[in-house]
A and B are shown apart, each in its own frame.
Chain A
Amino acid sequence: MATPLKRVRGLGAAHRGTETFWRQRVTAIANIPLVIFLVLSIVGHIGADYGQVKAYIANPIVAVLMLALIVSAAIHMRIGLREIIEDYVHGEGCKVAALVATTFFAGLIAIACTLAILKISLGS
Protein backbone atom coordinates (compact mmCIF):
# COMPACT_ATOMS: atom_id res chain seq x y z
CA MET A 1 0.00 0.00 0.00
CA ALA A 2 1.40 3.38 -0.98
CA THR A 3 0.86 6.13 1.58
CA PRO A 4 2.50 9.56 2.07
CA LEU A 5 4.70 7.80 4.61
CA LYS A 6 7.02 6.74 1.83
CA ARG A 7 7.96 10.39 1.34
CA VAL A 8 9.29 10.83 4.87
CA ARG A 9 11.39 7.71 4.68
CA GLY A 10 14.81 8.00 3.15
CA LEU A 11 15.46 11.37 1.53
CA GLY A 12 12.06 13.08 1.93
CA ALA A 13 9.96 15.13 -0.47
CA ALA A 14 12.88 17.05 -1.97
CA HIS A 15 14.88 13.80 -2.51
CA ARG A 16 17.93 15.56 -1.09
CA GLY A 17 17.73 14.70 2.60
CA THR A 18 19.31 17.21 5.01
CA GLU A 19 22.16 18.06 2.63
CA THR A 20 20.58 21.38 1.57
CA PHE A 21 19.72 22.33 5.15
CA TRP A 22 23.29 21.72 6.24
CA ARG A 23 24.84 23.52 3.26
CA GLN A 24 22.64 26.57 3.95
CA ARG A 25 23.99 26.69 7.53
CA VAL A 26 27.64 26.23 6.54
CA THR A 27 27.44 29.01 3.92
CA ALA A 28 25.55 31.20 6.43
CA ILE A 29 28.40 30.87 8.92
CA ALA A 30 30.97 31.64 6.20
CA ASN A 31 28.94 34.62 4.99
CA ILE A 32 29.00 36.43 8.35
CA PRO A 33 32.73 37.35 8.45
CA LEU A 34 32.91 37.63 4.63
CA VAL A 35 30.00 40.09 4.44
CA ILE A 36 31.50 42.16 7.27
CA PHE A 37 34.74 42.18 5.25
CA LEU A 38 32.88 43.32 2.10
CA VAL A 39 31.05 46.11 3.93
CA LEU A 40 34.30 47.34 5.54
CA SER A 41 36.03 47.18 2.12
CA ILE A 42 33.33 49.27 0.45
CA VAL A 43 33.01 51.76 3.33
CA GLY A 44 36.78 52.18 3.34
CA HIS A 45 36.81 53.03 -0.38
CA ILE A 46 33.99 55.55 -0.69
CA GLY A 47 35.37 58.42 -2.71
CA ALA A 48 38.44 56.43 -3.80
CA ASP A 49 39.46 56.64 -7.45
CA TYR A 50 39.53 53.76 -9.95
CA GLY A 51 43.21 52.95 -9.45
CA GLN A 52 42.88 52.68 -5.67
CA VAL A 53 39.82 50.40 -5.86
CA LYS A 54 41.45 48.18 -8.49
CA ALA A 55 44.71 47.91 -6.54
CA TYR A 56 42.78 47.01 -3.41
CA ILE A 57 40.91 44.11 -5.07
CA ALA A 58 44.10 42.97 -6.80
CA ASN A 59 45.67 42.35 -3.38
CA PRO A 60 45.84 38.52 -3.07
CA ILE A 61 44.31 38.43 0.42
CA VAL A 62 41.43 40.67 -0.62
CA ALA A 63 40.92 38.66 -3.84
CA VAL A 64 40.81 35.35 -1.96
CA LEU A 65 38.29 36.68 0.58
CA MET A 66 36.17 38.20 -2.20
CA LEU A 67 36.20 34.88 -4.11
CA ALA A 68 35.24 33.03 -0.93
CA LEU A 69 32.33 35.42 -0.44
CA ILE A 70 31.18 35.03 -4.04
CA VAL A 71 31.18 31.21 -3.88
CA SER A 72 29.57 31.01 -0.44
CA ALA A 73 26.97 33.71 -1.13
CA ALA A 74 26.04 32.25 -4.53
CA ILE A 75 25.38 28.81 -3.00
CA HIS A 76 23.46 30.40 -0.10
CA MET A 77 21.42 32.57 -2.50
CA ARG A 78 20.55 29.63 -4.76
CA ILE A 79 19.27 27.54 -1.84
CA GLY A 80 17.28 30.45 -0.39
CA LEU A 81 15.66 31.47 -3.68
CA ARG A 82 14.80 27.84 -4.43
CA GLU A 83 13.14 27.51 -1.03
CA ILE A 84 10.95 30.56 -1.71
CA ILE A 85 9.98 29.20 -5.14
CA GLU A 86 9.24 25.72 -3.74
CA ASP A 87 6.94 27.31 -1.14
CA TYR A 88 4.98 29.73 -3.32
CA VAL A 89 5.09 28.51 -6.93
CA HIS A 90 2.71 25.58 -7.20
CA GLY A 91 2.33 24.88 -10.92
CA GLU A 92 4.84 22.14 -11.75
CA GLY A 93 5.94 23.73 -15.04
CA CYS A 94 6.38 27.24 -13.59
CA LYS A 95 8.14 25.82 -10.56
CA VAL A 96 10.67 23.81 -12.54
CA ALA A 97 11.30 26.76 -14.88
CA ALA A 98 11.83 29.12 -11.92
CA LEU A 99 14.14 26.64 -10.19
CA VAL A 100 16.24 26.24 -13.34
CA ALA A 101 16.33 30.04 -13.83
CA THR A 102 17.52 30.43 -10.23
CA THR A 103 20.39 28.02 -10.80
CA PHE A 104 21.35 29.83 -14.03
CA PHE A 105 21.20 33.21 -12.25
CA ALA A 106 23.35 32.06 -9.32
CA GLY A 107 25.81 30.34 -11.67
CA LEU A 108 26.15 33.32 -14.01
CA ILE A 109 26.65 35.78 -11.16
CA ALA A 110 29.27 33.54 -9.54
CA ILE A 111 31.14 33.06 -12.83
CA ALA A 112 31.01 36.78 -13.72
CA CYS A 113 32.29 37.85 -10.29
CA THR A 114 35.00 35.18 -10.28
CA LEU A 115 36.24 36.12 -13.74
CA ALA A 116 36.21 39.82 -12.80
CA ILE A 117 38.24 39.23 -9.62
CA LEU A 118 40.72 36.98 -11.48
CA LYS A 119 41.10 39.52 -14.27
CA ILE A 120 41.66 42.34 -11.76
CA SER A 121 44.21 40.39 -9.73
CA LEU A 122 46.05 38.59 -12.56
CA GLY A 123 45.64 40.93 -15.53
CA SER A 124 47.36 44.17 -16.31
Chain B
Amino acid sequence: MTNKLEAERPLSPHLQIYRPMLTMMMSIAHRITGASLAVGFALLTWWLVAISIGPEAYATVDGFFGSLIGRLLLFLFTWALMLHMLGGIRHLIWDTGHALDTTSIEVAAWLTLISSMVLTVLIWVVGYALMGSH
Protein backbone atom coordinates (compact mmCIF):
# COMPACT_ATOMS: atom_id res chain seq x y z
CA MET B 1 0.00 0.00 0.00
CA THR B 2 1.43 3.37 -1.03
CA ASN B 3 1.91 5.80 1.77
CA LYS B 4 0.77 9.30 0.80
CA LEU B 5 3.46 11.01 2.86
CA GLU B 6 6.21 8.98 1.21
CA ALA B 7 4.84 9.43 -2.31
CA GLU B 8 4.91 13.22 -2.15
CA ARG B 9 8.35 13.46 -0.61
CA PRO B 10 11.03 14.68 -3.10
CA LEU B 11 13.53 12.03 -4.09
CA SER B 12 17.26 12.59 -3.68
CA PRO B 13 19.33 12.69 -6.91
CA HIS B 14 20.61 9.37 -8.16
CA LEU B 15 24.17 8.14 -7.85
CA GLN B 16 25.08 8.86 -11.51
CA ILE B 17 25.00 12.66 -11.16
CA TYR B 18 27.85 12.66 -8.65
CA ARG B 19 31.50 12.89 -9.68
CA PRO B 20 33.15 9.65 -8.50
CA MET B 21 35.12 10.38 -5.37
CA LEU B 22 37.61 8.24 -3.47
CA THR B 23 35.54 8.17 -0.28
CA MET B 24 32.51 7.04 -2.28
CA MET B 25 34.54 4.37 -4.08
CA MET B 26 35.94 3.13 -0.76
CA SER B 27 32.41 2.81 0.59
CA ILE B 28 31.36 0.75 -2.43
CA ALA B 29 34.59 -1.28 -2.19
CA HIS B 30 33.80 -2.07 1.45
CA ARG B 31 30.54 -3.71 0.39
CA ILE B 32 32.02 -5.49 -2.62
CA THR B 33 34.94 -6.87 -0.59
CA GLY B 34 32.55 -7.88 2.19
CA ALA B 35 30.34 -9.83 -0.20
CA SER B 36 33.31 -11.41 -1.99
CA LEU B 37 34.80 -12.52 1.33
CA ALA B 38 31.73 -14.75 1.70
CA VAL B 39 33.16 -16.71 -1.24
CA GLY B 40 36.54 -16.65 0.48
CA PHE B 41 34.88 -18.09 3.60
CA ALA B 42 33.48 -20.92 1.45
CA LEU B 43 37.02 -21.65 0.19
CA LEU B 44 38.31 -21.67 3.80
CA THR B 45 35.53 -24.15 4.58
CA TRP B 46 36.60 -26.35 1.66
CA TRP B 47 40.20 -26.26 2.94
CA LEU B 48 39.25 -27.17 6.55
CA VAL B 49 36.80 -29.91 5.52
CA ALA B 50 39.41 -31.41 3.17
CA ILE B 51 41.98 -31.51 5.99
CA SER B 52 39.42 -33.30 8.17
CA ILE B 53 38.66 -35.86 5.42
CA GLY B 54 42.21 -36.93 4.64
CA PRO B 55 45.38 -36.61 2.52
CA GLU B 56 43.69 -37.25 -0.86
CA ALA B 57 41.01 -34.60 -0.34
CA TYR B 58 43.66 -32.21 0.93
CA ALA B 59 45.82 -32.82 -2.15
CA THR B 60 42.92 -31.71 -4.38
CA VAL B 61 42.44 -28.43 -2.47
CA ASP B 62 46.18 -27.87 -2.24
CA GLY B 63 46.48 -28.45 -5.99
CA PHE B 64 43.76 -25.90 -6.69
CA PHE B 65 45.23 -23.23 -4.41
CA GLY B 66 48.68 -23.88 -5.86
CA SER B 67 47.48 -23.45 -9.46
CA LEU B 68 47.71 -20.13 -11.28
CA ILE B 69 43.97 -19.45 -10.92
CA GLY B 70 44.09 -20.56 -7.29
CA ARG B 71 46.96 -18.22 -6.50
CA LEU B 72 45.31 -15.33 -8.32
CA LEU B 73 42.09 -15.92 -6.35
CA LEU B 74 43.98 -16.12 -3.06
CA PHE B 75 45.88 -12.94 -3.92
CA LEU B 76 42.62 -11.09 -4.62
CA PHE B 77 41.05 -12.51 -1.43
CA THR B 78 44.09 -11.35 0.53
CA TRP B 79 43.61 -7.83 -0.84
CA ALA B 80 39.84 -7.93 -0.23
CA LEU B 81 40.46 -9.10 3.34
CA MET B 82 43.00 -6.33 4.04
CA LEU B 83 40.85 -3.63 2.44
CA HIS B 84 37.76 -4.78 4.35
CA MET B 85 39.66 -5.09 7.63
CA LEU B 86 41.32 -1.64 7.36
CA GLY B 87 38.05 -0.12 6.12
CA GLY B 88 36.33 -1.74 9.10
CA ILE B 89 38.86 -0.26 11.53
CA ARG B 90 38.12 3.13 9.91
CA HIS B 91 34.41 2.54 10.55
CA LEU B 92 35.07 1.58 14.19
CA ILE B 93 36.98 4.86 14.67
CA TRP B 94 34.09 6.79 13.09
CA ASP B 95 31.68 5.00 15.47
CA THR B 96 33.43 6.77 18.35
CA GLY B 97 32.67 10.13 16.69
CA HIS B 98 36.30 10.87 15.83
CA ALA B 99 37.98 11.75 12.50
CA LEU B 100 34.76 12.72 10.74
CA ASP B 101 35.95 16.02 9.23
CA THR B 102 36.54 16.14 5.46
CA THR B 103 40.35 16.18 5.68
CA SER B 104 40.51 13.18 8.03
CA ILE B 105 38.05 11.24 5.87
CA GLU B 106 40.14 11.86 2.74
CA VAL B 107 43.39 10.95 4.52
CA ALA B 108 41.81 7.81 6.00
CA ALA B 109 40.56 6.71 2.57
CA TRP B 110 44.03 7.03 1.03
CA LEU B 111 45.66 5.37 4.07
CA THR B 112 43.24 2.44 3.85
CA LEU B 113 43.80 1.95 0.13
CA ILE B 114 47.61 2.23 0.21
CA SER B 115 48.01 0.18 3.42
CA SER B 116 45.81 -2.59 2.02
CA MET B 117 48.05 -2.86 -1.07
CA VAL B 118 51.27 -2.73 0.97
CA LEU B 119 50.01 -5.38 3.43
CA THR B 120 48.82 -7.66 0.61
CA VAL B 121 52.17 -7.51 -1.20
CA LEU B 122 54.01 -7.96 2.13
CA ILE B 123 51.95 -11.06 3.00
CA TRP B 124 52.74 -12.59 -0.39
CA VAL B 125 56.44 -11.72 -0.29
CA VAL B 126 56.74 -13.33 3.17
CA GLY B 127 54.66 -16.28 1.97
CA TYR B 128 56.93 -16.94 -1.00
CA ALA B 129 60.04 -16.44 1.14
CA LEU B 130 58.81 -19.05 3.66
CA MET B 131 57.64 -21.47 0.96
CA GLY B 132 60.69 -23.73 1.07
CA SER B 133 61.17 -23.64 4.84
CA HIS B 134 59.26 -26.83 5.70
A interface list, Cβ under 8 A from B? 3-4, 25, 28-29, 31-32, 35, 38-39, 42-50, 52-54, 57, 66, 73-74, 77, 80-81, 84, 105, 109, 112-113, 115-117, 119-120, 123
Q: Verify B89–A32 contact, CB threshold 8 A.
A: yes
Give Cα A120 to B53, complex, Å: 9
Q: Verify B52–A4 contact, CB threshold 8 A.
A: no
Contact with A along B44-65 (1 / 0, CB 8 A): 1100110110010011001000
Give the contact-size bracket for chain B. Answer: 35 or more
Question: Given the interface contacts A57-B51, A109-B42, A120-B52, does A39 sit within 8 Å of B35 by beta carbon?
Answer: no
- Give the interface SS of chain A, mostly helix, strand, loop or mixed: helix
Say which residue of B38, B81, B127, B132 sits within 8 Å of A35 (CB atoms). Answer: B81
Residue among B48, B58, B127 having the largest count of chain A Cβ atoms under 10 Å: B48
- Which chain A residues border B85 with CB–CB below 8 Å? 31-32, 35
Closest 10 CB pairs of A and B: A116-B52, A116-B48, A119-B52, A47-B131, A48-B134, A43-B127, A116-B49, A50-B55, A80-B34, A50-B58
Can you give 22 A-B contacts (C-beta < 8 A)? A4-B5, A28-B88, A28-B92, A32-B85, A38-B44, A42-B127, A43-B123, A44-B130, A46-B128, A46-B130, A53-B51, A77-B34, A77-B38, A81-B35, A109-B42, A109-B45, A113-B48, A116-B49, A116-B51, A117-B52, A120-B48, A123-B52
- Which chain B residues border A74 with CB–CB below 8 Å? 41
- B116 proximal to A (CB < 8 A): no
Say which residue of A43, A44, A54, A105 sits within 8 Å of B51 (CB atoms). Answer: A54
